[in-house]
Amino acid sequence: MFKTKRSIYMLYGYIFFAQLFFDRALWVIYLGDRGMTFGQIGLLEAFLHLAIVLFEVPTGMVADLYGRKASLLIGNLFSILYGLFMLISGTFSMFTLGFLSMGLMITFHSGAEQAFAYDTLKNENREKEYTKVIGTMTALALLSLSFAKFLGGFMADISWEWVYGSTIFTHVLALIPLFFLKEPEREKTEEVAGRWYNQWVHQFKLGVNVWRNNPAIHQPVVLFILASAVMVIIVFYGQEYFIQLGYSSVVVGAVFTVEGLLGVVMAKIAFKVEERFKFFNILYYGLGLFLLFFMLFIFATDWAILLSFLFLAQLLSLFEPIFSSFVQNFLKSNVRSTFFSLIGLMESFVIMISFPLFGFAIERTGFTDGFAGLLVIFVAMAGGYLIVHRLVKS
């Protein structure tokens, strides 16, 4: 019991330090200051997600085959490389290396933290506490990001070197709790004869079989991927959007700080929402609210735009721990990280395509028309999928 608590607390500490990216609310502004156009910024984000698309599943299999702790360690090293490349970069090619490093960091983290927490609890038959634990993990990540966004605005007013130098330093500190993590026992994938890649192919097939054999997760996964991709676009292009509305970088940092702090509350109460409502009721009502606040974000006045943005972000902060818990119930421990990496792969593929297209679109049409087009595409894809899914089911 004590070892389980210590491992979970060490994981909490690692997550806090590992999420201290002081440029998170400002990197679009930073790239603009370095001469990058919106189209180039969109391409850089696309390269990040290209790295995720190419390496998400292989690195997820690393966590399942060789251990979650090893995956997290490698991911943290790429975080340090990201900060270093961004610190010394001044050209598009160097920024590309930075964004590829960030993409690789994401792939090594993706699914590994959740799998570590779930298997640690499972070893003591405490799986029912997972939503509460993952909610705390999400809350700590958001709190850490909020802290970083708030300080990042002040650091940027002094020097961008402060922003990225501090990012490197805090990710070196993240190695301390990481070394104290105790790898939880987990079901091992059976050995496959032949060359090493045969084992990886087999692991990939296990992840795909989870999707094939569990149709109950199809709707939640598809809607989560689409909504997450939309929020990535809103959050990152929203930085420059708020600047164009007349807000300073300090105010933008403060807005994103409030967004993160509210997300902490949402993540912490997620398990109570899960206890009170059925999962699919949460899914469908949440989708309706997402559409409502998305429309307000586009067509409301200035103050209501900020308010709508905050509500949009909170919906995902509340739903993500509940979604993770729902999917974990369908997984064995030898495929947890692999399957969540498959989800991350599809999410990144959608973002990789849509992010640069949105950047080029707003250069020609402006933010309002760009966000309106994004809403139409989201409604068409989400609504079309739900209709087809219902027709097939009936």
The CATH number covering residue 8 comes to: 1.20.1250.20
Helices (H) and strands (E) in the chain, counts: 16, 0
Tell me whether residue 37 is in a domain. Answer: yes
- Over the stretch 334-362, which tens digit does the pLDDT of each residue have? 788 888 888 888 887 888 788 788 888 88
- Over the stretch 210-234, which tens digit does the pLDDT of each residue have? 899 998 999 999 999 999 999 989 9
Q: pTM score > 0.95 for this model?
A: no
* pLDDT, position 53: 78
* pLDDT, position 190: 56
Q: Report d(CA 354, CA 348) in Å as an integer.
A: 10
Tell me whether residue 100 is in a domain. Answer: yes
For residue 116, which of 196, 193, 184 has the smallest C-alpha distance? 184
Q: Is the pLDDT of residue 8 over 90?
A: no
Confidence bin at 123 (pLDDT 50/70/90):
confident
* pLDDT, position 279: 93
Tell me whether residue 190 is in a domain. Answer: no
Tokens of 36: 């990058």
Give the mean pLDDT of 165-173. Answer: 94
Three-state SS for 75?
helix
Give the residue numbers spanning the domain of 102: 2-180+195-393
Tell me whether residue 163 is in a domain. Answer: yes
Tell me whether residue 185 is in a domain. Answer: no
Residue with the larger pLDDT of the pair 298 and 248: 298
Q: Is the pLDDT of residue 111 over 70?
A: yes
Tell me whether residue 326 is in a domain. Answer: yes
Tell me whether residue 187 is in a domain. Answer: no
Total domains present in the chain: 1
Tell me whether residue 136 is in a domain. Answer: yes
In sequence order, the 6+-apart residues with CB closer than 8 A to the CB of 158 are none
> CB count, 10 Å around CB of 73?
18
